[in-house]
Amino acid sequence: LLCWLALLLVRVAENTAGQTWPVMRRELDRIHLGTFTGPAGTFRQRTELSKPARDLLARLGIDAPRKIHELTPGT
């Protein structure tokens, strides 16, 4: 049942975006989260979204992930 639901989700995404799953996955795999530490503390920030990734998220009706994910003040 889980595999069927996963396949259904992939097909809905493909039909909505008008792209194949490997193309969508390749674009979304380019989004990374980096951790940066300095005297003021630590923060986690995502990479800039490419235009194809922004367009894909818009077609799927998904909000872009936040730019800053976590802020931890230094000691």
The predicted structure's pLDDT at residue 74: 80
The predicted structure's pLDDT at residue 65: 94
pTM of the model: 0.81
pLDDT of residue 75 exceeding 80, the answer is no
Distance CA 16, CA 18 (A): 6
The whole-number average pLDDT for the span 62-74 is 91
Q: What separation in angstroms does the CA of 33 have from each of 5, 12, 15, 62? A: 28, 27, 28, 18
Q: What separation in angstroms does the CA of 16 have from each of 22, 53, 54? A: 15, 14, 15
Summarize pLDDT for 10-62 with one digit per residue, the tens. Answer: 999 999 999 999 999 999 999 999 999 998 899 999 999 999 999 999 999 99
Chain CA centroid to CA 18, Å: 18
Q: Which amino acid is at 1?
A: L
